[in-house]
């Protein structure tokens, strides 16, 4: 798991995966030493490392080791192309809007929600997508819409989206882990698909929903 910030998404994975035989967080890699996520990793007993130079592909590859899936959550640094290539279709990011809208260079954190509010959009959401060579442009794995309410502030919208991120990311990680290493991008929760959670609850995504 790659982090730069407070690590609430890391926490959602730690809490949701627990001792799951399907997937677990094996290591946390931070782009900065003051990332709050490091403390969450320590509390959970998960090994953590801080990158001396996030642009150094060799350092990052060494930190990721033999991880089957690399998850970016609140990670703000560019992933070097050599790492993208090595982790093709095994490197995902969570973004706090419905990509391809409100993404791209410089669109992270509160800037995303500010842009959504300024646009007057009625819907925002959370997107999990593959990381490729372009910022926020890799194939989408899954999306979850979130309404924008009249009178929303930066804080109220960010909180509503973050809550959904915390539900979406564990679902996606579990499902990708179950499927193993794919040859091509996987699209989850498309209309008409079904999804079985770790508790054997089946979620159906109706056509046209
Ligand atoms: C989340 O909105 C995530 O989508 C974004 O950073 C925010 C906070 O992440 N990329 P976290 O609390 O550090 O997981």
What local confidence, expressed as pLDDT, does residue 208 receive?
43
Among residues 95, 113, 129, 166, the one annotated as catalytic is 95
What spacing in Å lies between the alpha carbon of 9 and ligand 1's midpoint? 6
Q: How confident is the model at residue 209 (pLDDT cuts 50, 70, 90)?
A: very low
**More confident call, 198 vs 35:** 35
**pTM exceeding 0.85:** yes
CB atoms within 10 A of CB 144: 18
What local confidence, expressed as pLDDT, does residue 135 receive?
86
Residue 8 CA: nearest ligand 1 atom is 12
What local confidence, expressed as pLDDT, does residue 189 receive?
75
CB atoms within 10 A of CB 18: 9
The 3-state DSSP composition of the chain as helix, strand, coil percent (nearest 5) reads 35, 20, 50
What spacing in Å lies between the alpha carbon of 204 and ligand 1's midpoint? 27
If you average pLDDT over residues 144-152, what whole number do you get?
94
Residue 9 CA: nearest ligand 1 atom is 14
Checking if the pLDDT of 204 tops 80, the result is no
- Percent of the chain scoring above 90 in pLDDT: 84
3-state DSSP assignment of residue 46: coil
What local confidence, expressed as pLDDT, does residue 19 receive?
84
Q: How confident is the model at residue 202 (pLDDT cuts 50, 70, 90)?
A: low
What spacing in Å lies between the alpha carbon of 207 and ligand 1's midpoint? 30
Checking if the pLDDT of 200 tops 70, the result is no
CA distance 195 to 141: 13
Give, for ligand 1, the residue of 39, 109, 128 to mutate: max count of ligand atoms closer than 8 Å to Cβ: 109
Q: Whose CA is nearest to atom 8 of ligand 1?
A: 74
Instruction: Please name the helix (run of DSSP H) or strand (run of DSSP E) that holds residue 186, with its range, or none.
Output: none
What local confidence, expressed as pLDDT, does residue 191 receive?
56
What local confidence, expressed as pLDDT, does residue 169 receive?
96
Give, for ligand 1, the residue of 8, 28, 36, 104 to mutate: max count of ligand atoms closer than 8 Å to Cβ: 8
Average per-residue pLDDT for the chain: 91
Residue 35 CA: nearest ligand 1 atom is 13
What spacing in Å lies between the alpha carbon of 109 and ligand 1's midpoint? 7
What local confidence, expressed as pLDDT, does residue 190 receive?
62
Checking if the pLDDT of 198 tops 50, the result is no
């Amino acid at each position: 798991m790659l982090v730069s910030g407070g690590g609430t998404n890391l926490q959602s994975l730690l809490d949701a995966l627990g001792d799951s035989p399907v997937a677990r967080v094996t290591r946390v890699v931070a782009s900065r030493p003051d990332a709050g996520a490091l403390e969450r990793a320590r509390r959970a007993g998960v090994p953590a490392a801080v990158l001396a130079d996030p642009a150094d592909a060799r350092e990052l590859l060494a930190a990721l080791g033999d991880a089957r899936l690399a998850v970016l959550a609140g990670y703000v640094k560019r992933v070097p192309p050599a790492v993208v290539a090595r982790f093709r279709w095994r490197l995902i990011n969570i973004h706090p809007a419905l990509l391809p809208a409100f993404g791209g260079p410089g669109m992270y954190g509160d800037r995303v929600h500010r842009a959504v509010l300024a646009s007057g959009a009625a819907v925002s959401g959370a997107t999990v997508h593959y990381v490729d060579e372009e910022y926020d442009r890799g194939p989408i794995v899954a999306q979850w819409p979130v309404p924008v309410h009249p009178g929303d502030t930066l804080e109220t919208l960010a909180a509503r989206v973050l809550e959904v991120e915390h539900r979406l990311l564990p679902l996606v990680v579990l499902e990708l882990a179950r499927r193993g290493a794919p040859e091509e991008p996987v699209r989850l929760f498309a209309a008409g698909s079904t999804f079985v959670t770790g508790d054997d609850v089946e979620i159906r995504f109706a056509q046209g929903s």
